Amino acid sequence: MEKSFNPKGVKKTPLVSKKMVFFVIVPIALVVLLIVGGRRLTWKEIQADEVAVIINNITGHITTIDRAGAVVYYPFIQDLYILDKREQEAPMASSNISADFPQGNPIILKTRDGGDVSIDLIIQYKLISKIAGKVVQDTGIGEEFKEKWIWDYARTICRYEFGDLSISEFPDSVKREEKIRASTDELNSLLNPHGIFVTSLNFIDYRYYREYAEKIHERRLADKEVEEQVQRASAARKNQDRVVTEETKKLDVAISRFMGTLHRMEIDAKAESDKIKDAGKAYLIKAVLDADADYDRLEKEAASILAVRKAEAEGIFALKKALEGAGGRNLVKMEYAKRLRNAKIIGTPVLKASEEIPQLRIRERLFKEAGEASQPAKMKEEESSHGGGHTAPSVHGESSGHGESSGHPAAAGDSGH
């Protein structure tokens, strides 16, 4: 049994009154419901890589909101569409199999020379956020714009651009790149007004039909062989040019060496010629100087010889003058005396009448001395009688080799007239 400690006769007061429930709790619950339900029905949050498009169902006005944040709209009166403005891709390849394209959606075209080619591409694109409403207005919501705009335009333009190539030109990457750039520019010129910008076309692969592939393979082999032959011919021409260049260089080197040798020989010859000329000039100068020196020397020698001879002649003349008369005889006597002083007389005595008697020898000597003294007197008388003439030769003694050394001749010369 529960016991109540409340005093009897006192009413219980409820924790929440009816007024509080009606005026507080119910409004709070309504506000919470409005906030929770209104977020889903009246506003949405837009990310930075999204763009919002609001369409007024009454007036048909389209508003594009290209910013991040919350967007408020009126449900049932306005419709809000959110589009992705990031860069996206739309593949057009045989591997892009779907319910609508069970065999893929590659671009099949016919080349300029009639060949069938299948091309696989990946189209990189993004929406132009400022005119994103054009996409919703033209194609509606979802990704319908891919099939209605991007794929259709890309298929048509790529058929037109790549169809200008021939079968043999498809392997050329340079020509394919030219066609890709042209297709990209043409797609942008057509899709930009609809709010789509194509950033790039990525060429994946191309395929021929089997018959074409075999023929193309054969043609490639033939072209490769022709190219090899052309390369061989080019290599042969280059080798020929190289050999000609090398031989020409060798010839130029030989000519340069020969010209250098000739120039060196010319320089050597010129130097030798200059040397000989200088030697000749030096010899000429030396010969002239030597001749002048010899001339001066000979002239001085001649002058000295002339002076010596003149002095000798004067001496001889003076000696002649000195030897004339008694002086000459005295010199002769002096010489005889010198000779006799040193003479040695060796003899064998022989008895003769005239020689054994000493008196006879003395007398003969006296007679002889008297005769020698009278002979010059007679010669002077003869000279005076004839008026001058040759003098008699003076008597000379026999020289013992000392006459010439003493400066006196052995015999007297002729007297002057």
CA 367, 369, 370, 376 torsion-angle sign: positive
164 CB-side CA count, 13 A: 12
DSSP per-residue string spanning 33-73: HHHHHHHHHTEEEEPTTEEEEEEETTT--EEEE-SSEEEE-
Vertex 83 angle, CA 82 and 85, to 5°: 135
SS3 state of residue 251:
helix
Question: Which DSSP symbol is given to 78?
Answer: E
Distance CA 146, CA 140 (A): 11
> Phi, psi at residue 112, to the nearest 5°?
-65, -35
Distance CA 208, CA 215 (A): 10
Question: Which DSSP symbol is given to 233?
Answer: H
Residue spans per domain, the chain:
18-81, 87-208, 327-342+353-417
Please tell us whether the domain made up of 87-208 is placed in CATH 3.30.479.30. Answer: yes
- CA neighbor of 55 nearest in space, from 78, 21, 76: 78
Vertex 194 angle, CA 193 and 199, to 5°: 85
Distance CA 315, CA 15 (A): 194
SS3 state of residue 347:
coil
SS3 state of residue 203:
strand
Q: What amino acid occupies position 80?
A: L
Both tokens of residue 375? 């002979």
> Phi, psi at residue 125, to the nearest 5°?
-145, 165
Whole-model pTM over 0.75: no
Distance CA 333, CA 311 (A): 27
pLDDT in tens, the chain (417 residues): 444 444 444 445 555 566 666 666 777 776 666 555 555 557 777 888 888 888 887 887 888 888 877 787 777 777 787 888 888 888 888 887 777 777 788 888 888 877 788 889 899 988 888 888 888 777 776 677 777 788 888 889 998 888 888 877 888 889 989 999 999 999 999 988 888 899 998 888 888 766 666 776 677 788 888 888 998 898 998 899 989 999 998 889 899 888 889 888 989 898 888 889 888 888 888 888 888 888 888 888 888 888 888 888 888 887 777 767 666 677 777 777 777 777 776 766 555 555 555 666 676 777 777 776 655 555 555 554 444 444 433 433 343 334 333 334 333 334 333
Both tokens of residue 326? 């008694």
Distance CA 212, CA 199 (A): 33
Distance CA 371, CA 353 (A): 23
Q: Which residues pair with 53 in a beta bridge?
A: 64, 81
